[in-house]
Structure 1
Amino acid sequence: MTLIVKKFGGTSVGTVEKIEAVADKLVAAKKQGEDIVVVVSAMSGETNRLIDLANQIDPELPARREYDVLVSTGEQVTISLLSMALIRRGQDARSYTGSQVRILTDDVHSKARILNIDDSRIREDLNQGRIVVVAGFQGVDAGGNITTLGRGGSDTTAVALAAALKADECQIFTDVDGVYTTDPRVEPRARRLEKITFEEMLELASLGSKVLEIRSVEFAGKYKVPLRVLSTFEDGPGTLITLDEENKMEQPVIAGIAFNKDEAKVTIKGVPDRPGVAWHILGPIGEANIEVDMIVQNISEDGSTDFTFTVHRNDYSRALKILEQICDEVSAKQVVGDDYIAKVSLVGVGMRSHAGVASLMFKALAEEGINIQLISTSEIKISVLVDEKYLELAVRTLHSAFELDEKAIKQETLEGFAKK
Structure 2
Amino acid sequence: MALIVQKFGGSSVGSIERIENVARKVIATQQAGHEVVVVVSAMKGETDRLTDLAHAAAQSNSPRPRELDLLLSTGETVTIALLTMVLERLGAGARCYTGAQVNILTDSAFSKARIQDIDAEVIRDDLSSGRIVVVAGFQGVDENGSITTLGRGGSDTTAVALAAALGADECQIYTDVDGVYTTDPRVVPTARRLDRITFEEMLELASLGSKVLQIRAVEFAGKYQVPLRVLSSFEDGPGTLITMEGDAMQQGSMEEPLIAGIAFSRDESKVTILGVPDTPGIAAQILGPVASANIEVDMIVQNISNDGLTDFTFTVHKRDYDRTLEILKDRAQTLGAREVFGDSDIVKLSLVGVGMRSHAGVASRMFDTLAAEGINIQMISTSEIKISVVIAEKYLELGTRALHKAFDLDEASGKTVAVEGENT
How does the TM-score come out when normalised to structure 1?
0.93
SS of equivalent to 1:328: helix
SS of equivalent to 1:212: coil
Deviation at residue 288 of structure 1 after TM alignment: 2.5
- Equivalenced residues, count: 409
Q: Which moved more, 1:374-383 or 1:125-134?
A: 125-134
SS of equivalent to 1:215: helix
Structure 1 residues 368, 60: CA separation in 2 closer, same or farther (over 3 Å shift)? farther
2:218 is equivalent to residue 235 of structure 1: no
1:213 alignment counterpart:
214
- How far does the alpha carbon of each residue in 1:342-389 deviate from its partner, in whole angstroms, 9 at most, with x for none? 111100000111111111111111111212111110000101111222
Work out the CA distance in 2 between the residues paired with 1:97 and 1:139. Answer: 8
1:107 alignment counterpart:
108
- How far does the alpha carbon of each residue in 1:137-193 deviate from its partner, in whole angstroms, 9 at most, with x for none? 111222222222111111111111101111000000111111110111111100111
Deviation at residue 61 of structure 1 after TM alignment: 4.6
The percent identity for this pair of structures is: 70
SS of equivalent to 2:157: helix
Letter in 2 for 1:405: D
Letter in 2 for 1:89: L
Work out the CA distance in 2 between the residues paired with 1:99 and 1:318. Answer: 40
1:413 alignment counterpart:
none
Work out the CA distance in 1 between the residues paired with 2:222 and 2:403. Answer: 28
1:269-308 mapped onto 2 (5 Å cutoff)? 269-308=274-313
1:9 alignment counterpart:
9
Task: Work out whether residues 253 and 408 of structure 1, in 8 Å CA contact, stay in contact via their aligned partners in 2.
Answer: no
Q: Which moved more, 1:34-43 or 1:322-331?
A: 322-331
Q: Which has the higher contact order (CA 8 A, sep 6+)?
A: 2
Deviation at residue 78 of structure 1 after TM alignment: 1.1
Deviation at residue 59 of structure 1 after TM alignment: 7.0
Structure 1 residues 326, 120: CA separation in 2 closer, same or farther (over 3 Å shift)? farther
1:39 alignment counterpart:
39
Structure 1 residues 146, 288: CA separation in 2 closer, same or farther (over 3 Å shift)? farther
Task: Work out whether residues 112 and 149 of structure 1, in 8 Å CA contact, stay in contact via their aligned partners in 2.
Answer: yes
- How far does the alpha carbon of each residue in 1:104-126 deviate from its partner, in whole angstroms, 9 at most, with x for none? 11222222211111112211211
Work out the CA distance in 2 between the residues paired with 1:59 and 1:68. Answer: 19
1:137 alignment counterpart:
138
Work out the CA distance in 2 between the residues paired with 1:207 and 1:54. Answer: 32
Q: Which moved more, 1:291-300 or 1:370-379?
A: 291-300
Structure 1 residue ranges, 4+ long, deviating more than 4 angstroms after superposition: 55-61
1:123 alignment counterpart:
124
Q: CA RMSD in A?
A: 1.7
1:176 alignment counterpart:
177
SS of equivalent to 2:259: coil
- How far does the alpha carbon of each residue in 1:225-276 deviate from its partner, in whole angstroms, 9 at most, with x for none? 0111111111111111111334674321000001111112122222211111
Deviation at residue 53 of structure 1 after TM alignment: 3.2
Letter in 2 for 1:147: T
2:203 alignment counterpart:
202
Deviation at residue 317 of structure 1 after TM alignment: 2.6
